[in-house]
Every structure is written in structure tokens, then in C-alpha cells.
Amino acid sequence: HTPVTAAATSLEQISKYNKYLNAFVDVADYDVIRSQAEDATRRWEKGQPKSPLDGTIIGYKMNFCTEELRSTCSSSMLENFQAPYTATAVELLRQAGAITGGKANMDEFGMGSHNVFSAAGVTRNPFGIVNCPTEELDTAEGRSPGGSSGGSAAAVASNMCFAALGSDTGGSVRLPASYCGVVGFKPSYGRISRWGLVAYASSLDTVGTLTKTVNDAEIVYNLISKEDPKDSTCLTQRQRDHIAQGITSVEQSEESRNTGKPLSGVRIGVPQEFNIEELSPSTKSLWRKGILALKDAGATVVPISIPNTRLAVGAYLTLATAEASSNLQRYDGIRYGHQSDEKDEKDSLYYHTRSEGFGKEVRRRILLGTYVLTSGSFDNFFLRAQKIRQTIRKDFDNVFARPNMITGSLPGEDDPERVHALLAPVAVTTAPKLEDVLGDHIDPINAYMDDIFTIPASLAGLPAMSVPFGNCANDGFPMGLQVIGQYGDEEMVFKVGRVVE
């Protein structure tokens, strides 16, 4: 495959399916894509590609600022927003020769799990749509692509692009990856610069990747995991060196290195609290098969406990909505974005602009977030949630054999009960039918439970990946398994992910 032929395939897929899937809201100019692909092909022919990704087509979630195309966050508030600068992660990929394919649909400002809260309309899961006879495309069963990076996952799954960037605050890369049958990777908090990624909840937001394989995820990740002075929470090179040193200071035993199996000497933890009642039997059996696959590869599997798992969703919602209510104050109708035409005396421009510009889920979260920050509930909600977040971090530190170089936890390599990575489900079920999650069918409290397995790693800032693992026997739709690693130990997540794959 040369970049030219690959680009032709992507463009064909976009022309054929995007109107049914609505994965890309904005598509880049076909002629620009073709001419960039020709340039890249020439570089490959000369043996001088800019990077392994030179000439590949990449999709970007609508919350990445890019000078080309709009950056709407799928919100009416930013419907015509043209960013004056480009996000660092996007810029790094451009320098590596990647070609922008389009901007992908999402839940407005990242708030949602099924891509149904989007001013640009819903995205459909490519499964059951692509490969279906043309005359049935309009009526084919629509399943949720997951959210909030639903467009990014759908674009990769339907081969509209080689890879896509998404953002993961509480599971927004991993859940759509599981539903659409692609690899979704969220690195440790601070690995990839958030500069130019529109903020949802800054202490949890991470840039993540959607790809077809674990290897591709690693290639994209390696190109964009760099220090960036423009984001103060992005790890500096010195911090990266320090983390790498701590992680690898613990050597595997001689015996385990010699057995030749990919996971010899690796201990995998199975978090008992994730085995909840709501888990469908097919998800459970998938999880069991995953455990067997890791054992076959030489891993030792041990049950472990993250005792505070059940408090994670509540703590996440408190913290994420509080941060969102603060981050979203900037949409005031004056500096940029939508401005209301309503000119009454009674209510302010701010009031009208925000009532018109924000969708109902965003308004719900702003209200919730403002409430938990009021003086009357601050201690009871916000502070308590912060404490829960710390205890969940400790829960993870207590089970990992390698040290967390941020919290300063002690290594426990010799302790057979402590593990190198965790294996867990990503979602309770396969992709639900769109009609079941649309409009008023969706009960917000139930919907928040969709993120029950992804949120703990987000609160602790840990690297986590959703890897497609066969189809769920009962409905043929894909499902992923989740690999979670110690802070900074992306390498272990890739290693285990490659075996799950």
C-alpha cells in the first residue's frame, strides 16, 4: 500500500458511508488529501519518509483545535468556530507527515457515552452498516458507536482513516473502541499535551488514540507523547526519565525471562469488584477467555481488590461536572462562539447565549457542577469526592508491583500478590441499540453507569487500553477487554494488549 492507494480507499469509504454513519462532521478537501498523499508516496519511494505514519490519513475529534476545518466540540455554541491555532498532538502528527482526513463527531464537549448528545446529529456504529447491501443502508439497525469519541471510533472502524485521535476523561476513547471493535488507548495523565484540546475536566482529560491494532496505537502514541511547555500538566523530559527509571528498576527474575513466552514473569490482576451483578453472562465468559489467553502466554493471574471501585462513578461525576462548570464559563457570548440575538431587558446576554448554545446534557452537568461547588455542599460533595479519588489511587498502588513515581508508592516486585497489569471488562454489554439510548429513553443516572469500568483508571491517571476481543456470542457485536497499567507503564499495557489482541 502506498499513501496514494490508502488515501483512495479512505476517500472511497468516506464517500460511500459517511452519510449513513455521520462519523466525520467535516471532511478535508479531497484534492488536498490526494496531493499530500502523492508527496508522501514520493518520500517513501526515495526511502525518506518523515515517520512511519508519513502519508496516513488521521481523523481528529471535534474538540481538537485545528487551523483547517472547524473545531465545534459538536456544540451549537461553537458551530462556526474556526480555531486560530493547532493542538500540539495534531501538530506533532502533521510534522510526522500525517494527513488530516476530517473532524469527527462527538458528544457535546465530551459529555456522554453514546454520541447522541451532539449538535451535529448522532453517529451510527459501523457494525451492521458497512457491508450491508446498499438498498438496506437507510434502514439498517443503528447501534450506538459509544461516546464521547464515537465519531473517531466509527471512522477508524469503517476504514475512513488509518487512525484517529479522541479524548478520554472518564472512558470516552475506551468505550467507543469496545463498541466499534477497534483499539482505544488512553495513556497516563500528563503523557500527551492537552494544549489545543478543548477542556472538559482538566484534571482528568487525556488525549487518546483509536487504531486498528495495538502496534498502530503504539506508533501514534510514540509520536505524540512529548513534553510541551504550553501545557503545564504535560510531563517534562526530566520527569519522563525519572518515571522510566523507577518503572524499569525492578528486574524480572532470570527464570521467567527464559521460558520464551511473551508474558513469562508477568502477573495479571483480576479486580474482583468489577465482577458486578449487571455484567452479562457473555461479557463474563469473554473476560474468562481473556484470562485464559494471558495464562497461555505465560502470565500468572491472581485475583486482586480495588475496594473503592463502587465509589468511583459518584466521585467522577462530582469532580468532572465541577471542573466542567468552571471550564465552560468562558462561553459567554462575547469572546467567541454563539451570541444570542435576544435583546430583552430582563435577562442577560449571558443567560440567553448559554440557554441557546448548550444542549441539555451540558446544561445538566453545568448545574450539577455549580451545585457541588456551592459553599453549602462543597465539603460534603466536592471535598469528599477528592478524598475518594485519593483512596482509589492508593487502592491501585497497593496492587501494582511497580512503583507509582508520582505518588511515591513503594515497589513490591517480590510480593506474589502484586501485579504488573489488570485485566477487566470495558463495558457491561455490547453496543446498545440507538433507539434505546436516544432522547428521553435515556435515564441520566443509568447512562452514567456505562462508564463504571473505565472511570477508576481515569481517576487514578493510569494508562488503559480497550482491545477488541472477539464477538459477544449472543449478538455478534464486538467487545473489548481492558488492560490497565501502573502510572507511566504504557509499555506493559502494550505488551499485554498484544497478547489479548
What residues are annotated to the active site?
61, 148, 172
DSSP bridge pairs for 483: 423, 465
- Please report which helix (H) or strand (E) contains residue 219, including its range: helix 214-224
Selection from 179, 245, 192 nearest residue 220 by Cα: 192
Residue nearest to ligand GLN (CB): 172
Residue 460 and residue 487 in contact, taking contact as beta carbons nearer than 8 Å: yes
Q: Which DSSP string corresponds to 425-486?
A: ES-SSSPPBHHHHSGGG--HHHHHGGGTTTHHHHHHT--EEEEEEEE-TTT--EEEEEEEE-
User: Taking a C-beta distance cutoff of 8 angstroms, is the pair 449, 314 a contact?
Assistant: no
Contact 466, 184 (CB under 8 A): yes
Q: Which is nearer to ligand GLN, 17 or 200 (CB)?
A: 200
Q: How far is the CB of 100 from ligand GLN (least distance, A)?
A: 22
Distance CA 166, CA 186 (A): 9
The span from the CA of 204 to the CA of 460, in Å, is 9
Place of cell 455554541: 77
Residue 89 neighbours by CB under 8 Å, 6+ apart: 64, 165, 192, 193, 196, 197, 207, 224
Q: Which residues bind ligand GLN (CB under 6 A)?
A: 110-113, 148, 167-172, 200, 320, 451
Question: CB-based contacts of 445: which residues, under 8 Å, 6+ apart?
Answer: none
